[in-house]
Structures are given as structure tokens and as C-alpha cells.
Chains A and B, each alone.
Chain A
Amino acid sequence: MVEDVFLQEIINITFLSLRVSGTAVLIGALIGIPVGAFLGFRQFKGKKTMMRLVDVMLKSIINTFMGLPPVAVGLVVYLLLTSSGPLGWLGLLYTPTAMVITQLIMVVPIIIGVTMSAVGSVERSIMEKALSLGATKNQAAFLVLREARVGVLTAIIVAFGAAISEVGGIMISGGNIRWFTRTLTTAIVVETELGNFNMALALGAILLSIAFVINLALTVLQIKGARR
């Protein structure tokens, strides 16, 4: 009976982690890929001094946000969603949704930044070649995005890796409530503090396995990309 609950809790925690991080990355991809692609495409346009300055500023801001401290994001989300905060009326604090919002804020700059670099690194000549073959601007842009597909997939995997291993932000905004907002990382913290090392080790092994699968996928993609 005790073992059943133990197992059930591990499954619950694992699925919640995957659901929260997966949702954040999915929404992050829907926002980040088009924005990253748009910023990456800017390099194909004529470069005037003002545009260069805007590009440098935009890219610097995105690079800064790629390294956002998770606890700071968690704090901001907490202050926004707390009952006295501007979005307190939504009643989202200490829910999985609050955790998704926290992780979303973290992953969007990562996806934008990596997609931007991937699209920007595709040679300008690919765009010109497509236009020369009679493609419309949209068709040529889609082809460039296709050529950058390994980079775009890398962006998603890197973002998922960052989200699933994040602890500070979701601890603050999710509250680490057992059976409700407890994820692999927050559970490891609590179980270690309580001295439940079996549970902590089991969760750590699961987290490590997920991280391994992510890195395996990333490595395979990179090898495939290098063979091009």
C-alpha cells in the first residue's frame, strides 16, 4: 500500500513536470519561432546604420533575457499573481498554470535567441536562390526556415532542457504543493530536506533520464546537421 502511494506520487510528479514544461515549451515555440525567424530574416534586408543599431539592441536584449535568473522570474510572476497583485483576480497563484507562465517567460527568449541565430546563419544566397527560382518572398522565407530546421529543433530541445530542470521559479509561483504543483525538481529539494533520500534519489534518476534523452536527441540532431 505504502509502495503503491510512493509509486503513484512519483508518476504524478513526473507527469506534472512533463506537462508543465511541455506546455511552456509548446506555447514558447509558437511565440518564439516566428519572432526568432523574423529577427533572423532582418539580416537579409539592406543594412542601414539605423537598422543595424536596432538589430544590435534587439539581439542584446534577447541575449540578456536568455540568461534570466529563474528565481527572479518566479518572484515577478508571484507579485503579478498574488491576491494583491494586478493579476491576482485570476486566482492562478500556486497552480500548474502559474508554473507554466513562469517557465514560458524563461523559455521564450531561449527559443527566440537560438532560432534567430539558426535563421541568421543560413546563407543569404539561399534566399536569393529561391527568389531567383521564382519563389515569392514568403516561399523563400519558408525555405530559409526549413534550411535552419536543425537549429530550430535545437532551440526547442534546449528550451525544454532548461524548463524541466528549473527549480527556483516554479517553487515560488507553484508553491510546491504535494499532488498538485510538485514537480521533479521541487520534490527533490523537499525530499532531501526531509531526509527521504530513497524518494529523492528515485526522482533524481528520472530527471537524469529525461535530461539524457534530451541530450541524446540534441546530439543526434547535431551529428545530422554536421553531415550536411
Chain B
Amino acid sequence: MRAVEVRGLSKDYSGRLVLRDVTFDVHEGEFFVLLGPNGSGKTTLLRILDLLEEPTTGKVFFEGEEVDYSKDRATLRRKIGMVFQHTVLFDMSVFDNVAYPLKIRGDLAKADIERKVARVLEDVELSGFERKNALALSGGEAQRVALAQALVAEPKLLLLDEPTANLDPKNVSIVEGILSRLNREKRTTIIMTTHNMFQAERLAQRVALLNEGEIRAIGPFRDVFGNQSLSSQ
């Protein structure tokens, strides 16, 4: 079953076309990577999928239903988690940051929130960080808190905008491990952008090559880039 369907999507910023007739599907439980250089339209595409921006033309379907950008978006957004390239955390404790998406829903008991936060912090290897102020964390820790925020409500779709772009190799490895595990064990559908081909090869079941706002190729990494593995070179 398709988790996301994108049909003929275009985005125009005051006459500057950043996405042109983009069409692709992402299957449920798939790890899908949008690969492309800076300025290729990856972030804009992800922001449209996260309902932060409206497409100029084209349609998006989530679990078979067309997304209506004119309606209240909060309900649909609660099924989607997003991690931004530049980590944004609130000036509160790690616990409160991670609990925020649950608290605003208002339908969970305090004990349930505490249990879910504890579990997700364990998943991102940050148990024991609950009381620390989120703004006092290192870059890698902060990005993992952002990941925990996106995961705590158990989204059906996880959108990641170059989540490791500003991290050191150790933290890149940790975050990639978390994402692989999440996709493998919980079957969470993931759409991630990156300009790193090695990372795309390591993580993606399929990649879409995006350049100048257009999808140039789509499929398993080796089909798109040939049989030679980058990691074996």
C-alpha cells in the first residue's frame, strides 16, 4: 500500500519555479531518500509534505486520501513527524520538549506521557537527559532530541530534512542506526533528504534523484547509479 503519493507537484516562489511536475510514490514501511544537491528543491518538497507550505499545482495523497491544504492541518500533521536540518528546540527541559507533541493533544494521562517520553529517549540513546535544558545540549544530542520529538507520537510518516548534515561522524552513525532500527522494527515510513550519496546507499530502499526541481531518476540505489557500490570503492 502507498503511504504517500505525489502527483504533478510544482512550487513557484514569485516566478521562480523550485519544483517542476514532481511525481512519485512512497510505500508503507519504505525508507525513501530524496537525493540531490543544495538548492535542488528537496527541502521545499519536504515542507509541502509536512503541510508547512502549499503546492502551486499538483496533488498529494496521504494513505490514499488527498491532502486538502485549505483545511485545518493540525490533525493530519499529528500523523507526520518532521526533523528539520537546523535543529530547533524549545527553551525548556528535554522532557518537556519531547512531551510537547503529546501534551498539545490533551488526550493522554500524565503517566502515559512519561512512559512514552522515557521509551523514545531510550530509543535515541538519551535516557537520563530528561531534566537538562534542551538548549544546553551538544549538536548531536540536540538533533537526537529533535528526532525523539518527531517520534514520540508514533507517526506513520517520518520526514527528515538532512538530519545529519551538521553532525560529526559519531553522531551520524548513531542517528543512522536509530533510523534503520526504527524503519526495520516499527515499519515507520521514512522520507529523508540528503546530498550525501554514501548515506543514501547505506539507508535507502529506493532513491529519487532530484535536480533543479525535477526528479531525474527513481528506483533502488543500484538501479539509479549502476551496480557499482560506492562503499566498495
Quick one: given A133-B149, A134-B105, A135-B104, are A126 and B90 in contact (CB under 8 Å)? yes
Annotate A125-168 by CB proximity to B: 1 below 8 A, 0 otherwise. 11011111111100100010011000000000000000000000
Q: List 5 A-B contacts (CB under 8 A).
A: A129-B84, A131-B77, A132-B50, A132-B82, A133-B149
Which 6 pairs, one residue from A and one from B, show the smallest C-beta to C-beta distance?
A134-B78, A133-B101, A129-B88, A125-B88, A134-B77, A132-B82
Does A139 contact B88, Cβ atoms closer than 8 Å?
no
Chain A contacts for B135, CB-based, 8 A: 228
Per-residue A-contact encoding for B83-106, CB less than 8 Å = 1, 0 else: 010101011000000001100110
In addition to A125-B84, A129-B88, 6 A-B residue pairs with Cβ atoms within 8 Å of each other are: A129-B84, A133-B104, A134-B74, A143-B90, A147-B91, A228-B135
Complex contacts, A132 vs chain B, CB 8 Å:
50, 52, 77, 80, 82, 84
Q: Are B90 and A135 in contact (CB under 8 A)?
A: no
Q: Closest chain B residue to A139 by CB distance? A: B104
Whole-angstrom CA separation of A132 from B100 in the bound complex:
12
A44 CB to nearest B CB, Å: 12
CB distance from A153 to the nearest CB of B (A): 13
| A33 CB to nearest B CB, Å | 18
| Binary flags per residue of B171-184, CB closer than 8 Å to A gives 1, else 0 | 00000000000000
- By the criterion of a CB under 8 Å from any partner CB, how many residues of chain B are at the interface? 23
Residues of A in contact with B, size category: 10 to 19
Show the binding face of B for A, using Cβ within 8 Å. 50, 52, 72-74, 77-78, 80, 82, 84, 86, 88, 90-91, 100-101, 104-105, 133, 135, 149-150, 153
* Pairwise interchain contact B104-A134, C-beta atoms closer than 8 A: yes
**Using Cβ atoms and an 8 Å threshold, which residues of chain A touch B72?**
136
The answer for the CA separation of A136 and B86 in the assembled complex, in Å, is 22
Least distance between B63 CB and chain A CB atoms (Å): 16
Residues of A with C-beta under 8 A to B74: 131, 134-136
Which residues A108-140 have CB closer than 8 A to chain B?
123, 125-126, 128-136, 139
Q: Please determine whether B82 and A228 come into contact, CB atoms closer than 8 angstroms.
A: no
Provide the residues of chain B in CB contact with A131, threshold 8 Å: 52, 73-74, 77
> Closest Cβ of chain A: how far from B25's Cβ, in Å?
23
B16: min CB distance to chain A, Å: 16
The closest CB in chain B to the CB of A134 belongs to B78
Tell me, in angstroms, the Cα distance from A136 to B52 when the chains sit together.
12
Bound complex: CA A143 to CA B91 (Å): 10
Whole-angstrom distance between the alpha carbons of A130 and B96 in the complex?
A: 13
Interface of chain A residues 14 through 65 with chain B (CB within 8 A): none
Most chain B Cβ neighbours within 10 Å, of A126, A132, A146: A132
Task: A143 to B149: give the CA distance in the assembly, Å.
Answer: 15
In the assembled complex, the Cα of A136 lies from the Cα of B133 at a distance in Å of 24
Cβ–Cβ < 8 Å partners of B105 in chain A = 134
A121-B133 Cα distance, complex, nearest whole Å: 20
- Are A126 and B88 also in contact (CB < 8 A) when A133-B149, A134-B77, A134-B105 are? yes
